[in-house]
């Protein structure tokens, strides 16, 4: 498979500049079905007739963290949401091009978008736990909302494993029945991550997951991301260069020529290369803070 | 400024307190278990007897019937408007008709229900279900409107959170959107019920008047509380000529006030229930 974004063929698992933090092993890590490669080809993304993102072609490697950076309004969120077909829930929104996960076109005629979202989970910018549910029910939401049968002990195991993976178990294990909305913002965000991984997705998309959080909670979530990449393919949008440099293996830079014109993927490469010797002038300017 | 607001508040309160004072003052005297548990069968003149049992039965049947029709129709329509049809042509048409329905005079709703049933059963049909249909014409727009407002209050982020977990739209609507809005929807439904429980004119047309108990909403006339009040009040003073029989000249007025008081109590109880239910279902933030 080629990497048409112009970058060198990455070896993401060992090319990262920093060592991964040694932490307790996460559950379900030996499941071979987890973590998949995503290939995007010539993707044009529309809101009605407005072309928001144009001509994106990229490869997202499994078991690695891919970061998207770029100025506000360049279409990072829009692009991210096309990866799990969340884009089309917006009235009038449409997508042209192909997104393939392990060779299967996610936009194929016989593909159910609901099934895609079950495999590609998402964490949003603002923590959004279900306000009517307890902490435990929030974690189980993916199971319960689908009316799936689950035994009491399986449910308890799933809750513990998911919360432990999200580094939240120790903080909430004594108050699982308390409302999820009663947690702090950082805890709520980790609860949302636990909720997303409880449905055992293969890919996890995160749209500025730390932008509403304090530095400590941010650090907790960055550690978590580093740990989760052993099992998941992770894609993260961030405005924080240091964060992109810290957590990601590959970085994609999106830019926009001006208001009204579509956002484009300017350059994508290993994070180390992107931050030291980017090929494009625009990338260098953005990373060194000269605009955006 | 504070003085102005307080004065305005006080003035707004005057008619309410006055109304309650009058109704309680005049109605409490006759309001006792006997009054609640007896009908008007065989009661005449100034007899110290008679009650509203038959009217309570009728009001309960007709109102429950109206709610059974209006609540599903109203909630489903609101779900369509907010979750499915938003901005579409059909949704705009529905919104328009709901607005028009809101303005329908209640007597017209009564005539409509009467005419509707006449089509099938011939003229002259009077029974509880016709009244329920008439009241539901008045109730549906209120339920649609209040439910719509409540559904719009549910943050879009919760819908997206559910979609992102791979939950299909219809399950998201039922288990996230409705569940989150249920407290507000219940309050809206209860207010709609309170609104129609006091309707008189359409019931006079459709359900009619009777002095004895009828449990069957599909056959025979029924008495209802507002109509009872109306009937008693129009009966007026009783001329007491025979000194050998106990005769209360104002008995009809007394019964009217007591029935009015009962009606107010029923509305208050409904409101209390609505509050309890909404507290039970309200999203929990802190425990
Ligand atoms: N629901 C929508 N309807 C119409 N246009 C939209 C919608 N959401 C986003 N857009 C437009 O699409 C473009 C890309 O927006 P997007 O939210 O993807 O940017 P972003 O890169 O995520 O920005 P930020 O960094 O501020 O989050 C913008 O021009 C925006 O105005
Ligand atoms: Mg964004």
**Whether the Cβ atoms of residue A57 and residue A109 lie closer than 8 Å to each other:** no
Cβ–Cβ contact A90 with B under 8 A: no
Q: What is the mean pLDDT of residues A32-57?
A: 87
Query: Is residue B129 included in any domain, yes or no?
Result: yes
Out of B166, B281, B287, name the one closest to residue A118 (CB).
Answer: B166
List Cα–Cα distances, B126 to B67, B205, B217, in angstroms: 19, 8, 10
Closest atom of ligand 1 relative to the A79 alpha carbon: 18
Give the residue whose CA is nearest to atom 24 of ligand 1. A72
For residue B219, the distance in angstroms to the closest alpha carbon of chain A comes to 42
Subunit contact B163:A89, Cβ cutoff 8 A: yes
Cα–Cα dist B48/B37, whole Å? 15
Cα–Cα dist A141/B127, whole Å? 47
Q: How many domains does chain B have?
A: 1
Q: What percent of chain A has pLDDT over 70?
A: 87
Q: How far from each other are the two terminal CA atoms of chain A, in whole angstroms?
A: 33
Chain-centroid distance of CA B111 in Å reads 18
Note down the domain range covering B258: 49-281
| Residues B109-141: tens digit of each pLDDT | 999 999 999 999 988 899 999 999 999 999 999
| Residues B68-82: tens digit of each pLDDT | 999 999 999 999 999
Tell me the average pLDDT of chain A.
85
Cα–Cα dist B82/B63, whole Å? 27
Ligand 1 is surrounded, with C-beta below 6 A, by A 47, 50, 52, 70, 72-78, 90, 263
Question: pTM value?
Answer: 0.85
Interface A–B counts its CB contacts (< 8 A) at 91
- In the reported structure, the alpha carbon of residue A82 is separated from the centroid of ligand 2 by a whole-number distance in angstroms of 13
| Contacts with A117 from chain B: Cβ below 8 Å | 163-166
Give residue A208's region: left, alpha or beta (phi > 0; psi -120 to 50).
Answer: left
- Sheet of A93-101: strand order equals A104-105, A93-101, A38-47, A50-60, A263-270, A250-256, A65-69, A233-237, A203-207, A120-123
**Whether the Cβ atoms of residue A266 and residue A75 lie closer than 8 Å to each other:** no
| Contacts with B159 from chain A: Cβ below 8 Å | 89
pLDDT at A216: 83
Going by their DSSP bridges, the two strands A93-101 and A263-270 should be labelled as: unpaired
**Whether the Cβ atoms of residue B137 and residue B199 lie closer than 8 Å to each other:** no
Query: Is residue B9 included in any domain, yes or no?
Result: no
**Whether the Cβ atoms of residue A222 and residue A189 lie closer than 8 Å to each other:** no
B156 alpha carbon, closest ligand: 1
What is the best residue among A46, A75, A261 to mutate for testing ligand 1's pocket, by most ligand atoms within 8 Å of CB?
A75
CA angle A183, A184, A189 (to 5 degrees): 90
CATH number at residue B104: 1.10.3720.10
Query: Is residue B148 included in any domain, yes or no?
Result: yes
Query: Is residue B2 included in any domain, yes or no?
Result: no
Query: Is residue B180 included in any domain, yes or no?
Result: yes
Cα–Cα dist A83/A38, whole Å? 9
Q: Evaluate if residue B188 carries a pLDDT over 80.
A: yes
Lowest-confidence segment of A33-37, A82-86, A96-100, A181-185 by average pLDDT? A33-37
pLDDT interval class at A291 (50, 70, 90): low
Subunit contact A132:B164, Cβ cutoff 8 A: no
pLDDT at A9: 40
Cα–Cα dist A275/B162, whole Å? 36
For residue A17, the distance in angstroms to the closest alpha carbon of chain B comes to 32
- Could you give the 3-state DSSP secondary structure of residue A115? helix
Query: Is residue B21 included in any domain, yes or no?
Result: no
pLDDT at A118: 92
Query: Is residue B58 included in any domain, yes or no?
Result: yes
pLDDT at A17: 41
Query: Is residue B37 included in any domain, yes or no?
Result: no
Q: Which domains does chain A have, with CATH numbers?
A: 38-127+205-287 (3.40.50.300)
| Residues A150-193: tens digit of each pLDDT | 999 999 999 999 999 888 999 999 999 999 999 998 899 999 99
pLDDT at A137: 95
């Amino acid at each position: 498979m080629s990497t048409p974004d112009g970058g060198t063929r990455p070896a993401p698992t060992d090319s990262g500049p920093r060592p991964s933090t040694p932490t307790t092993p996460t559950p379900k890590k030996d499941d071979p079905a987890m973590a998949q490669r995503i290939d995007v080809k010539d993707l044009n993304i529309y809101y009605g007739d407005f072309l928001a993102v144009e001509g994106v072609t990229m490869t997202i490697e499994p078991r690695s963290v891919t970061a998207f950076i770029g100025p506000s309004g360049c279409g990072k969120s829009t692009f991210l949401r096309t990866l799990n077909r969340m884009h089309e829930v917006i009235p009038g929104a449409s997508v042209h091009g192909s997104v393939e996960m392990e060779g299967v076109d996610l936009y194929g005629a016989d593909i159910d978008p609901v099934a895609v979202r079950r495999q590609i989970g998402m964490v949003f910018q603002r923590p959004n736990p279900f306000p009517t549910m307890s902490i435990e029910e929030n974690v189980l939401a993916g199971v319960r909302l689908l009316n799936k049968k689950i035994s009491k002990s399986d449910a308890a195991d799933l809750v513990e494993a998911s919360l432990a993976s999200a580094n939240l178990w120790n903080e909430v294990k004594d108050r699982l029945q308390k409302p999820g909305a009663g947690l702090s913002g950082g805890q709520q965000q980790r609860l949302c991550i636990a909720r997303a991984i409880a449905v055992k997705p293969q890919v996890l998309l995160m749209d500025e997951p730390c932008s509403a959080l304090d530095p400590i909670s941010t650090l907790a979530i960055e550690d978590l991301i580093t740990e989760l990449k052993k099992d998941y393919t992770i894609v993260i949008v961030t405005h924080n260069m240091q964060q992109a440099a810290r957590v990601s293996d590959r970085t994609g830079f999106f830019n926009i020529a001006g208001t009204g014109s579509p956002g484009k993927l300017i350059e994508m490469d290993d994070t180390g290369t992107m931050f030291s010797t980017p090929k494009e002038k625009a990338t260098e300017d953005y990373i060194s803070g000269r605009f955006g | 400024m504070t003085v102005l607001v307080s004065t305005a508040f006080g003035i707004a309160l005057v008619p309410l307190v006055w109304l309650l004072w009058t109704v309680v003052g005049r109605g409490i005297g006759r309001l006792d278990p006997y009054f609640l548990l007896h009908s008007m069968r065989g009661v005449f003149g100034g007899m110290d007897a008679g009650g509203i049992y038959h009217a309570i039965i009728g009001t309960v049947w007709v109102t429950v019937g109206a709610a059974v029709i209006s609540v599903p129709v109203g909630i489903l329509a609101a779900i369509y408007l907010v979750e499915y049809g938003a901005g579409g042509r059909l949704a705009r048409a529905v919104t328009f008709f709901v607005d028009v329905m809101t303005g329908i005079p209640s007597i017209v709703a009564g005539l409509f229900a009467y005419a509707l049933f006449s089509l099938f059963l011939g003229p002259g049909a009077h029974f509880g279900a016709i009244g329920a249909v008439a009241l539901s014409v008045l109730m549906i727009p209120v339920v649609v409107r209040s439910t719509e407002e409540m559904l719009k209050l549910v943050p879009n982020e919760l819908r997206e959170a559910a979609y992102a977990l791979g939950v299909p739209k219809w399950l998201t609507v039922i288990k996230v959107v409705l569940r989150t809005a249920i407290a507000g929807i219940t309050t809206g439904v209860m207010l709609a019920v309170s609104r129609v429980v006091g309707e008189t004119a359409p019931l006079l047309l459709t359900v009619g008047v009777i002095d004895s108990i009828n449990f069957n909403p599909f056959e025979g006339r029924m008495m209802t509380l507002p109509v009872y009040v109306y009937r008693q009040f129009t009966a007026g003073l009783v001329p007491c000529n025979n000194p050998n029989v106990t005769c209360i000249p104002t008995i009809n007025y007394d019964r009217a006030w007591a029935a009015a008081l009962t009606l107010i109590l029923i509305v208050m109880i409904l409101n209390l229930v609505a509050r309890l239910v909404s507290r039970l279902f309200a999203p929990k933030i802190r425990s």
